[in-house]
Structure 1
Amino acid sequence: MALQVQIGEQKLDQEQLLSLLAKYQLLPRLAQEMIIDQAIATTPDLSCTQEEVKAAINLFVQQRQLKSEADIQNWLKKNGLAFDQLPAIASRPILLEKFKQQRWGDNLESYFVQRKSQLDRIIYSLLRTNDAGVAQELYFRILDDASLFPELAREYSKGPESQTGGLVGPVEMNVPHPAMIQILSSSQPGELKPPVKIGEWFVILRLEKSIPAQLDETMQQRLINEQFEQWLNQQVQEQLLIEHLE
């Protein structure tokens, strides 16, 4: 059965829809969804219980504020779907999460160890100026009295950190400039580092606190999603082929 979509007064056939998907750069998203469906369908022992499906449908209609069967029917019609497709659509996120867990759940510890140096967080104080002489003078003043850092940062620092008395963080270790990461990663809390030129700035740094990353439930979900996104993007690159036929 041929598919036709009408938007306003414009009727679109399948070829026109495909052309528009390409025009609006939506083909990669379509490919992602198809690859996800294929992965779910071909993964052994991947299913939802009746209770999970029922809960998924309830959540689905609540999220879309569908308060009656008429609302549900109208939503399905608007999206070109049939009522008997609702259980599969609603339970798809559950199956996707089960797929992620089955595919990447067992290697989380090793992946966490691999990523930990970037996931660890730090709080540090930063003061930057484009005047080498000023930077040197401020460094010795802070070295003489560590409590002056916030006051001097507010007065002299040229970046947004001046609004926080030089305090930055907590941020993950991959956030600061690479040269700053190198300095901070070899610092002890409370250790003031002499001015160093980074780009156009002369920078004074002091590590305030190190916060090691923990493989808690939130981190586990983040790392699973991270690996899933990497896999999905790679699959799209490998499988999506667009040809222009004359």
Structure 2
Amino acid sequence: MAASPPFIVINGQQQLSLAQAVRYLQAAGKLDEMIGEILRQFVLDQALGDRAAGQPTGAAVEAAIAHFRQQADLTDPLAFQTWLESQGLDAEALQTQTQRELQLRQLRDRLTEPHLSQYFIERKLDLDQVVLSRLAVGDRDLAEELYQQLLEGASFETLAQDYSQTGDRLFNGMLGLLSRGSLPDALRAAVDAATPGDVLPPLFIEQENLWCVFRLDRVLPATLDHPEVLETLRNELFDQWIMRQLDGLDIEVLVGE
């Protein structure tokens, strides 16, 4: 039996076959991850079908590359060439890669469009955003005392600067914009029952081992016409579609000697 052709050559002499490389990945616990990515790309290639049909125009590809260069501050030709070399690409390979990305985006949008409205309804509460401020201390009794002071009209910002034990005290306790779905369950429930301006009773945040008094500053409801929300929903639906395709495959991995 002929020896397997080399897959990787090390120092110009030592050769690793594909089978050896696969066994190394298996030993490192990375084989399933690699196979999963290969199968994902297989499913996407199958879905794209005839590459000539629905292929992005050359103008669309060039526009996408120009936009990327602008966003990545690579408008200077020398800087762009240096970046290409650092990525192991040339101009033609980048065009091919960009063309595929545009094709996949078109596929994603076509598959997900019929389901967006219903999925948005299902996901809306988790996608809503809130602006919170907090006063975080290590002692429950102190948290209760500070909460009472706030109810009596004390300045949240002043107490946060004086007592809070977390870095956000430098910003008067403001945490900024947070996804409702990312909040711990108890905090999310308290936020749902509050209105902007309300100070919430002390809550123990287990992840940080701190007692926190939160203030709900703003609520920003998610809308389907928001670009980031739309992108998130499309990507989630597309990933779900890919997983369904993978679940329907009968996979057998054959590793030769």
Q: Which residue of 1 aligns with 2:231?
A: 221
C-alpha distance after superposition, 1:160-213 (max 9, x if no partner): 332322211211101222111110111011112233445454332221110111
* Equivalent residue in structure 1 for 2:11, among 8, 11, 14: 8
User: Does the Cα contact within 8 Å between 1:108 and 1:223 map onto a contact in 2?
Assistant: yes
Q: Which residue of 2 aligns with 1:119?
A: 127
* Separation (CA, whole Å) in 2 of partners of 1:98 and 1:236: 20
Moved more, 160-169 or 193-202: 193-202
The answer (yes or no) to whether the contact 2:19–2:256 under 8 Å persists in 1 is no
Residue in structure 2 matched with residue 178 of structure 1 by the alignment: 185
Paired residue total: 232
Q: Which residue of 2 aligns with 1:80?
A: none
Q: TM-score, normalised by structure 1?
A: 0.75
Whether contact under 8 Å (1:21, 1:27) holds in the other structure is: no
Counterpart of 1:79 in structure 2 is none
Unpaired runs of 5+ residues, structure 1, are 77-82
- The one-letter code sitting in structure 1 at the alignment partner of 2:233 is L
Shift of 1:17: 4.4
Mean Cα deviation higher: 131-140 or 111-120: 131-140
The one of 141, 154, 163 equivalent to 1:156 is 163
Paired with 1:107 and 1:212, the residues of 2 have a C-alpha distance of 20
Deviations 1:196-234 (A, max 9, x none): 445454332221110111222332222111222333345
Letter in 1 for 2:215: R
Counterpart check, 1:133 vs 2:133: no
Alignment RMSD (CA, Å): 3.7
- Name the structure 1 match of 2:215: 206
Q: Is the 8 A contact 1:128 1:158 kept in 2?
A: yes
Normalising to structure 2: TM-score of the pair?
0.72
Q: Deviations over 1:67-125 (max 9, x none)?
A: 9xxx9xx957xxxxxx8x98755521121111101110222122112111011110112
Aligned to 2:101: 93
**How much does 1:144 deviate?**
1.7
Structure 1: distance between partners of 2:188 and 2:204: 14
Q: Do the aligned residues in 2 keep the contact of 1:60 with 1:90 (CA within 8 Å)?
A: no
- Residue number among 36, 40, 43 corresponding to 1:28 in the alignment: 36
Alignment partner of 1:39 is 2:47? yes
Distance 1:161 1:47, change over 3 A: same
Contact 1:190-1:207 within 8 A present in 2 as well = yes
Show CA shifts across 1:42-78 (max 9, x none): 79964334544676788999999459xxx9xx957xx
The SS at the match of 2:216 is strand
